[in-house]
């Protein structure tokens, strides 16, 4: 593989407007670096803005969203995130997306075959119908769908949730994007199916050499499948780095706190189940309409000192590990 440059999102800021209220500053200065062929996890809780990042990159934000700033570097091109037409040019070609609900990507009135043909008409306009049919069946077979020729004639409702998600992955396989954005792709699936669908997503990366942005609330998925992770909270990236290092020694107290709250299948147990107690993070998310000029996590942070309230910290590299970045002033 040649070392093509990473896909880089720089300084994305998004507000949501509603009448009679100050704007909700949903994303502030969000940057992500997605190296070629790597899987980057974007992990955060409800309200963190992680799905807004995906929708902004795809140019699919709701009408009341206002993109204040941001750019995406893809290969030699630089796309302005405020330019909807430029983003539309990436969509379906450079970027493809897998949603939590596969039905969001599938038209209930079209057959599975029609969806796959549609992708190929865009991506391989010179191919004949017979060639498209052959490649579509091959794609279904690749993502582990039995009797793919028969499935081509089925409609989405005739397939299980896991099978529908495989069809969406087959569409991405045919679209051959540079970046696959997968937003909670397995959240609606059973755990045994989740493992199979994640295996198909990894196989897709191996086959077409794309990068993957995996948006998830599941720390287990991040630890298992991602190379890098970006931890997002209340619209800001608080920490970025290689997964192994971030999990081993988080450089932001918020990362450490959510890792500690995560209940793993091999977590230590109290001697009696009745004595088991669970970790929480006290407090609530800050209001996005009234943000403090301070560290966004300081009001909930166990380690906060007065300096944390004295200004809004930037995302900066760690002194000893320049590959890693954090907004925590205590980690520098």
Partner 1 sequence: MPDPLAIEVAGVTVDFTGMRALDGVSLAVPTAGCFGIVGESGSGKSTLLRTILGLQGPTRGEVRIEGVLQPHRRDFRAQARLVQPIFQDPALSLSPRRRVGQSLDEVGEALGEPRDALRARLGGVFERLGLQMPVLDRYPHQISGGQARRVAIARALLFQPRVLIADEPTAGLDVSVQGDLLNLLQEIRAATGVTLLIVSHNLAVIRLIADRVAVMQGGHIVEEGDSRSVFDAPRSDYTRTLIASWPRGQPVEATG
Q: Does 37 bind partner 1 (CB under 8 A)?
A: yes
Q: Does 290 bind partner 1 (CB under 8 A)?
A: no
Which residues, at least 6 apart from 150, have a Cβ–Cβ distance to it below 8 Å? Answer: none
Q: Does 46 bind partner 1 (CB under 8 A)?
A: yes
In 3-state terms the chain splits into helix, strand, coil percentages (rounded to 5) of 35, 20, 40
Q: Does 9 bind partner 1 (CB under 8 A)?
A: no
We find the least distance from the C-beta atom of residue 112 to partner 1, in angstroms, to be 21
Q: Which of 21, 62, 125, 277 touches partner 1 (CB under 8 A)?
A: 277
Q: Does 239 bind partner 1 (CB under 8 A)?
A: no
Q: Which residues pair with 80 in a beta bridge?
A: 71
Q: Which of 276, 289, 309, 332 touches partner 1 (CB under 8 A)?
A: 276
- Residue 96 CA to chain centroid, in angstroms? 12
Q: Does 18 bind partner 1 (CB under 8 A)?
A: no
Helices 161-175 and 112-123: crossing angle in degrees, nearest 10, is 20
Q: Does 99 bind partner 1 (CB under 8 A)?
A: no
Q: Which of 129, 147, 279, 332 touches partner 1 (CB under 8 A)?
A: 279
Q: Does 157 bind partner 1 (CB under 8 A)?
A: no
We find the least distance from the C-beta atom of residue 251 to partner 1, in angstroms, to be 18
Q: Residue 208 burial (CB < 10 Å; 0-12/13-18/19+)? A: middle
Q: Which of 22, 220, 292, 311 touches partner 1 (CB under 8 A)?
A: 220
Q: Which of 176, 217, 303, 312 touches partner 1 (CB under 8 A)?
A: 217
We find the least distance from the C-beta atom of residue 78 to partner 1, in angstroms, to be 28
Q: Does 173 bind partner 1 (CB under 8 A)?
A: no
The DSSP string of 279-326 is ----S-PPPTTS--SS-TTGGG-TT--GGGGSS----EE-SS-TT-EE
Q: Residue 277 burial (CB < 10 Å; 0-12/13-18/19+)? A: exposed
Q: Residue 68 burial (CB < 10 Å; 0-12/13-18/19+)? A: middle
Our CB check for partner 1 shows the closer of 85 and 265 to be 265
Instruction: Specify the length of the chain in residues.
Output: 332
Burial state string for 306-320 with b = 16 or more CB within 10 A and e = fewer than 16:
eebeeeebebeebee
Range in contact with partner 1 (rule: CB under 8 A) among 134-142, 163-171, 172-180, 199-207 = 199-207
Burial state string for 126-150 with b = 16 or more CB within 10 A and e = fewer than 16:
eeeeeebbebbbebbebbbbeebee
In 3D space, the residue among 185, 216, 213 whose CA is nearest the CA of residue 200 turns out to be 185
Q: Which of 104, 195, 305, 310 touches partner 1 (CB under 8 A)?
A: 195
Range in contact with partner 1 (rule: CB under 8 A) among 13-21, 130-138, 164-172, 205-213 = 205-213
Our CB check for partner 1 shows the closer of 126 and 157 to be 157
Q: Which of 76, 270, 293, 314 touches partner 1 (CB under 8 A)?
A: 270
The footprint of partner 1 (CB under 8 A) covers 37, 45-46, 190-195, 198, 202-203, 205-207, 209, 217-221, 223-225, 243-244, 247, 257-258, 261-267, 269-270, 272-274, 276-281
């Amino acid at each position: 593989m040649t070392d093509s440059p990473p896909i880089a999102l720089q300084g994305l800021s998004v507000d949501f407007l509603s009448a009679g209220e100050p704007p909700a500053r949903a994303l502030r200065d969000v940057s992500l670096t997605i190296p070629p062929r790597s899987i980057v996890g974007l992990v955060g809780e409800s309200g963190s803005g992680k799905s807004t990042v995906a929708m902004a990159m795809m140019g699919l934000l709701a009408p009341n969203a206002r993109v204040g700033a941001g750019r995406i570097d893809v290969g030699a091109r630089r796309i302005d995130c405020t330019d909807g037409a430029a983003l539309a040019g990436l969509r379906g070609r450079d970027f493809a997306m897998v949603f939590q609900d596969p039905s969001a990507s599938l038209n209930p009135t079209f057959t599975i075959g029609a969806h796959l043909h549609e992708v190929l008409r865009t991506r391989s306009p010179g191919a004949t119908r017979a060639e498209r049919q052959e490649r579509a069946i091959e794609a279904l077979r690749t993502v582990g769908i039995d009797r793919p020729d028969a499935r081509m004639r089925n409609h989405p409702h005739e397939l299980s949730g896991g099978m529908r998600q495989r069809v969406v992955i087959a569409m991405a396989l045919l679209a051959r994007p540079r970046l696959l954005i997968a937003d909670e792709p397995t959240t609606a699936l059973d755990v045994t199916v989740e493992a199979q669908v994640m295996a198909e997503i990894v196989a897709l990366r191996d086959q077409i050499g794309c990068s993957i942005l995996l948006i998830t609330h599941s720390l287990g998925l991040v630890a298992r499948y991602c190379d890098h992770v970006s931890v997002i909270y209340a619209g800001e990236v608080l920490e970025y780095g290689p997964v192994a290092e971030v999990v081993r020694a988080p450089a932001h107290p918020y990362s450490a706190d959510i890792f500690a709250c995560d209940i793993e299948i091999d977590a230590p147990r109290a001697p009696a189940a009745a004595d088991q107690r669970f970790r929480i993070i006290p407090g609530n998310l800050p209001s996005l309409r009234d943000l403090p000029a301070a560290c966004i996590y300081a009001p909930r942070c166990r380690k906060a000192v007065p300096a944390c309230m004295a200004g809004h910290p930037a995302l900066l590299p760690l002194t000893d590990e320049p590959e890693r970045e954090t907004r925590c002033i205590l980690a520098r």
